Amino acid sequence: MIDYKKELNAAQYEAATTLEGPMLVIAGAGSGKTRTVVYRLANMVQQGIAASNILLLTFTRKAAQEMQHRAAQLLGQSAGMVGGVQGGTFHAFAYSILRMHKPQGYEGDLSVMDSADAAGALKHCKDTLGLGKGDRSFPKTQTVMGLLSKARNKELTVEDVLRREAFHLASYAGDLTRISDTYRAFKRRHALMDYDDLLFELERLLQSDADLLAYYRDRFRYIMVDEFQDTNLVQARLVRLLGSGHNNVMAVGDDAQSIYAFRGANVQNILDFPDMFPGTRIIKLEENYRSVQPVLDLTNAILDDAPQAFRKKLFTRREGGPTPHVLRPLSDLTQASMVTSKITELLRTYPPDEIAVLFRAGYQSYHVEMQLGKLGVKFKKYGGVRYSDAAHVKDVLSYIRLVVNPLDLPAFQRMASLVKGIGAKTCLKLYDAAQKADRSVLKKACARFPDLQHDLDMLDALRAKPLTPAGLTQAVIEHYQPRLEANYPDDYPRRQHGLEQLVQIAASYNDVDLMLSDLCLEDPATDKGEDISAVTLSTVHSAKGLEWSAVLLIDLVEDRFPSRHALNKAEDFEEERRLMYVACTRARDYLALFVPATIYDRSGGGNTPANPSPFVRDLPAHLYEDWRENFTGTLTRRQDARPVTVSAARTSGPASGGGRQAEQGGGALGNGGRPASGYCTHKIFGRGKIIQHVPPDKYRVNFPGFGLKVIMAQYLTLE
């Protein structure tokens, strides 16, 4: 028999041995969530619950298989009893039912398309409608697929998704809606479903067939759902549909780690679970088995101001450990040097694969990549491609390489390929003519391809000027901008950020040749994808579920972390806070937070002051060591730090409405006592006129050039 009291801590034991009634397990980071589910699964089988009556829903097939395998190992000779548990993803579960009970409205035998089949069907619908022909700016099929999937999973209109996340494609809203409608009809006519259809069609089937719903409720009398904070709206409704009646539903998750709203995840699902299932027992797993206490003290503090529903304090039995560091470099460029210096220092203690650099967005690691490359430190990047592998960066570098070396064939081929109508054979012919100075051939080609003439004229002009690396790079990017928008219409605003970083990288060089060698030369081992021990560079989203001995978190300034898009909506701001929490809880031993004092601004041609991230600014000072970079490049520890005084008027960002167990408080500007008229200033939109006070803590403001915006009071400075 398994000694559950000996194997589990008190909270885990309660969760594993409570088998009847609804239960919500709030599993803090590193608190043994999987272990708890495994022991509960084993206990259910030991207590005589038939495996066929148990439904285990996870977000990956691997997770379900691992849980069942570990439960089988615990049970030993009774292991075979676990095999009857239906475990897997929501989508696999939905398909298992739909293939036996085909929903109405589909003709013939039902088939589920993979992503390639779905893309082909969508392209067929687009071509049938005659949309996008001759329009190079029309979003590509994969982009359309992503937008329609996002609209489906978030249960929004296509227009809403474009307005929120792809404003540069808003002019195509009507066309994309037509494609969506045609695609939906095509699937029904041919008895096809794609990945997103499965959950909605299962819901429709269960709602329309009371007998079938009753059958599955009776069959799956015990339901366990992993990572409940990542469920979308339809997944939560399915859990409620299947669990209502017996109410033996255990949801496991952590509202503080809900960071996938962009995929459709809705944190409100886990917050509302006690309302979905009245009488829910709430159990909190707060003992952490990963991090040292100084790291946990800091991560607990990140959530202190969150209007979350389920308060918890992580603790550990791991004694000692270094105090986290807050390092304040002079700029985001010197930040890269500080990060690589810290990595070099950490490599004396940890192997490379125990060190990670985390960031909010993929482009933020570019400077670090450059510095690591110079030092010969191998790294692997997750969440965004390596900087020098990005297509738009390669495009710009091809121009720069041709300025330096007019006979650079690969660069000429890449530049020429950007001109519509020039293929591989024509490119080689033109290169040969350029090499031999055959003006007649070049003249004919330029007459046929005016864009090529424009490119060659630009290169000649740049070769005649004594430009710095930064000046040369700036000039090339300005020339390339129309190509960027034309060739990458789906996401050129994101790529533009990368090119802005390239100008800053160039500004750190006095020699173009040296800059090109650092950018273009790759480590052969890394190129081949060999399994080497390397430092990890990762977006925070890609780091979820992973851990390292040492974690360095960079670019902790406003507009980067939190992102500028999160400053106008309370729910977006709070997701950024949770993202910060997830990032910091990846660290086992050492945590460093980098807060550059200035950020490069390409439009202004220099560095501009940066405001520290509110998630750092609001941390009590006794929880970290504060180090500041001097003009000499040395670091000085600030000895005069004092704990932050918390008040209702703090500027940590917007606070949404509270919930169960939430501590509520509003900003001073949002609680009355101030006139809802006059003028104010916003960091992004500038000066505007206040039109209306929107209780409790927002204002509707008219900003010239931007129109009406509803802004959290904390982000406005009243005049």
Is 123 known as a binding-site position? no
225, 252 Cβ separation under 8 angstroms: yes
**Pick from 652, 666, 653, 577: nearest CA to 617:** 652
141, 116 Cβ separation under 8 angstroms: no
Is 566 known as a binding-site position? no
The phi-psi region of residue 162 (left if phi > 0; otherwise alpha if psi is between -120 and 50; otherwise beta) is: alpha
Cα 576 to chain centroid distance, Å, stands at: 10
Is 258 known as a binding-site position? no
The full length of the chain comes to 719
Give, in degrees to the nearest 5, the angle at Cα 578 between 577 and 580. Answer: 65
Half-sphere exposure of 380 (CA within 13 A, CB side): 16
Residue 26, both tokens:
């709030």
Is 34 known as a binding-site position? yes
Is 28 known as a binding-site position? yes
Question: How far is it, in rounded angstroms, from Cα 261 to Cα 421?
Answer: 41
**Pick from 605, 628, 587, 613: nearest CA to 364:** 613
Is 171 known as a binding-site position? no
Question: How far is it, in rounded angstroms, from Cα 56 to Cα 70?
Answer: 14
Q: Which contacts of 57-61 are long-range, i.e. CB under 8 A and separated by 24 or more positions?
A: 57/87, 57/88, 57/89, 57/90, 57/93, 57/223, 57/224, 57/225, 57/226, 57/239, 58/87, 58/88, 58/89, 58/226, 58/227, 59/89, 59/90, 59/226, 59/227, 59/230, 60/89, 61/88, 61/89, 61/92
452, 446 Cβ separation under 8 angstroms: yes
Is 108 known as a binding-site position? no
Question: How far is it, in rounded angstroms, from Cα 696 to Cα 675?
Answer: 13
333, 594 Cβ separation under 8 angstroms: no
Is 31 known as a binding-site position? yes
Alpha helices in 250-308 (DSSP H): 268-271, 273-276, 293-302
Q: Mark the binding-site residues for ATP, compressed into ranges.
A: 27-34
Q: Mark the binding-site residues, compressed into ranges.
A: 27-34
